[in-house]
Structure 1
């Protein structure tokens, strides 16, 4: 037996899978487009609150002491033999988009709990405590700011700012924390852990294309979210000459086309641009739209190129606003995060754990945002990606990772956490 075999652990994959499937039933719905069972568990809805209570129950059953902070972030703690040692943190989120699958975020949370169960069953103590975190509103789809709970925990955003955010029905996050019973009392500012490791499905096709199961994540690319409201003028579709129209719908379409032109130009590095939300008012067949509301999601691994793309978009919006009478635009910043590199030392621990489990791996950059990018401001951080099927589709009921792939990813997580938790 080698030294690496002495601290290499394998989790109960069947139990992990049951946890994933059980949690997926909370907020489940039948998706008419795909014919599949999906998950709708937006942050701080009743479904999310039920899911949180289930996760807390699993934490307590695993012997973890649970605390909830003033952002509703939940932490379950397994004590180490050295009470003065900083903990090793793992976790993710369980809130979802409205058309989700069973794995996004949940694998990291339930995988962390499964690690603790396995350590307990094997009678393994660690020098450092191990904590499992569940962060509030990672997706950002309800209150408009992604990685919200972890951003407040890490100090990038203030608690007052977060509590004042509203959803589209005017409900504030602070009020929803109170309504669901997750307005905790623990200090929201997280004391810097020793290290943070997050296990997550890839949400992309790279691992499948390379025919490997494990990704060692090197960092997270920059993300820019903006909301654009275009004010035009309602008019009859048949009687109003084109030259006299101030068509908010047309302006929205021009913005979408321009974004694609920015991407296709190649002048802004590896830029990605998405308009994921677009509505027009009054939304009637025979009326020229008086108003259009849209979001713009920009991604770029190069902060300077991201800034140039944002400037190009702002210039185009100004030109569009001045293109004719009756048209005006307002732009609101929703979120902005820079490129975040992950710690090379933690990446090496993850890669070694994958090697010791006989799992092929590659290094890759995350195209999606994760709580890990916020916690990276506090401590050495890295992520484990698990291969997804169907081209890695995510935020969709077709999102799927096999039981074996999930178990292997959490095997790597367990081994990495154990080794980090025993470091001096």
Structure 2
């Protein structure tokens, strides 16, 4: 049994929370001054733990074990949403650090290699999942050149100002990295609702993101009769209602879709909107259903354009993210550790949220584990998890990590 240090784990999590603390939550947007300060602190903590730690050329914090392979890579992200919680992503990074320390303190496991990562920009302030995409060898230079945040700051300029441009980038090492493990809060309410403490992830859902632009005619809100208006805002709202009905016919219990942002032009109460944009995201674990939803959306657009004075066109914001299955053998290690430490308090479940694990799974076997989210709330200041679940989850994670590495070492011997 590898024993974690709960006091040390919680102290580190709470200190990381202080970077960008806003009420009960955190505002730590990717590559902001407070995020860079948190990354510098994390490099220090990894170094104290005996890892060779640095911030790489895109902003990822990477701590490399001084032990030879096979190595297990454990990580997640420490950047947040604009109204972020203190555990989303951060929990997985600090679990990774505590796992590395716990294994190093145990005579039977101190020879094992645990690398730890805090990937940059998982939340998409500039370019979503940037750190993990760079790690697996995706050509991200073009994305970096074209990326900017909502304040108009260019990613290239921000990296240069932080002294990161030109640095080497952390990368997958084929002879070293045998598996990736990402612990995380659930970000939903399933575990809490059925009284379970651990979720072993089976699949990460796919995600499509699109922008639909409605084009009408600006006009005076007081003098333009309703019968002759080409109101882009009203057209958008009517379209959403039709889209909801169509998607409900295709969906199962785990299918979700969200219009997360609407922009009206010019956005004045006294002007009939001449243009309106809606930003649509839909997710599902079934790639055929995702494709069917996109095809149905295209049919709705064609029908709308044929019968309305307001026109609509759509485009993909990013390339679709396809569903990814987690490695069954690694999930088996997690399940056995969960059953040993929390008998009958765990279940297998999909992830409805996107994670770096689905990117890294392109290059090596990957797995994920969840702990409960209180009230199922995430991406909000009140996001939280009971301390007993945080500690239990880390102990399960450390036990499973040791098991994964010991098996990998035995197979390589």
TM-score by length of 1: 0.90
Q: Contact 1:268/1:306 (CA < 8 Å) preserved in 2?
A: no
Q: Could you tell which deviates more after superposition, 39-48 or 124-133?
A: 124-133
CA contact 2:59–2:131 (8 Å) conserved in 1: yes
**Residues 321 and 29 from structure 1, CA distance in 2 versus in 1: closer, same or farther, beyond 3 angstroms?**
farther
Aligned pairs for 1:311-350 within 5 A: 311-325=295-309, 327-350=311-334
Given candidates 180, 193, 212, the residue that maps to 1:209 is: 193
Where in structure 2 are there 5+ consecutive unaligned residues?
none
Contact 1:68 / 1:183 at 8 angstroms: preserved in 2? no
Q: Report the equivalent of 1:361.
A: 346
Aligned pair partner of 2:143 in 149, 161, 172 = 161
Task: Report the equivalent of 2:281.
Answer: 297
Matches within 5 A, 1:246-325: 246-266=230-250, 270-325=254-309
Consecutive unaligned residues of structure 1, counting only runs of 5 or more, are 1-7, 31-36
Q: 1:68 to 1:124 in 2, by over 3 A?
A: farther
CA shift in 2, pair 1:62/1:396, >3 Å: same
Query: Which stretch has the larger CA shift, 244-253 or 367-376?
Result: 244-253
Aligned residues: 405
Q: Which moved more, 1:230-239 or 1:167-176?
A: 167-176
What per-residue deviation string (whole Å, max 9, x for no partner) do you get for residues 64-91 of structure 1?
10133332222102222xx3x2321000
1:275 positional shift: 0.7
> 1:194 is matched with which residue: 178, 197, 204?
178
Q: How far, CA to CA, are the matches of 1:232 and 1:148 in structure 2?
A: 36
Deviation larger for 157-166 or 88-97:
157-166
Matched, 1:25 2:45: no
What residue is the counterpart of 1:384 in the other structure?
369
Match of 1:400 in 2: 384
- Helix, strand or coil: the match of 1:383? strand
* TM-score between the two structures when normalised by the length of structure 2: 0.92
User: What SS does the corresponding residue of 2:203 show, helix, strand or coil?
Assistant: strand
Runs of 4 or more consecutive aligned structure 1 residues displaced over 6 Å after TM superposition: none
Q: Give yes or no for the alignment of 1:105 onto 2:77.
A: no
Q: How many Å separate the matches in 2 of 1:16 and 1:351?
A: 22
Structure 2 CA distance, aligned partners of 1:255 and 1:157?
37
* 2:2 is the alignment partner of 1:13: no
- Give the equivalent residue in structure 1 for 2:117: 133
Q: Which residue of 1 aligns with 2:155?
A: 173
The answer on 1:57 being equivalent to 2:30 is no
Name the counterpart of 2:221. Answer: 237
Moved more, 264-273 or 162-171: 264-273
Deviations 1:38-57 (A, max 9, x none): 21111111221122112112
Partner-residue secondary structure (3-state), 2:158: helix
Contact 1:269–1:302, Cα closer than 8 Å, also in 2: no
Q: 1:352 aligns with which of 325, 336, 343?
A: 336
Q: Residue 48 of structure 1 is aligned with which of 21, 35, 41?
A: 35
Q: Residue 75 of structure 2 corresponds to which residue in structure 1?
A: 91
Aligned counterparts of 1:266 and 1:332: Cα–Cα separation in 2: 20
Q: State the Cα distance separating 1:184 from its structure 2 match.
A: 5.9
Structure 1 residues 187 and 212 mapped into 2: Cα distance closer, same or farther (>3 Å)? Answer: same
Quote the RMSD (CA, aligned, Å).
2.0
Q: Over residues 119-163 of structure 1, what are the superposed CA-to-partner deviations in whole Å (9 max), with x where a residue is unaligned?
A: 3344554444210011111112x22x4322212322345333234
TM-fit CA distance, 1:325: 4.0
| Cα contact 2:84–2:381 (8 A) shared by 1 | yes
Residue 220 of structure 1 contacts residue 368 of structure 1 at CA under 8 Å; is this kept in 2?
yes
Distance 1:326 1:256, change over 3 A: closer
Report the alpha carbon displacement of residue 269 of structure 1 after superposing the two structures with TM. Answer: 7.7
- Secondary structure of the 1:405 match is helix
Please give the per-residue CA displacement for 1:22-49, whole angstroms capped at 9, x wherever unaligned: 211211224xxxxxx2211111112211
Cα distance change, pair 127–282 in 1 and its aligned pair in 2 (3 A) = same
176-185 or 120-129, which deviates more: 120-129
State the alpha-carbon separation in 1 of the partners of residues 220 and 34 from structure 2: 43
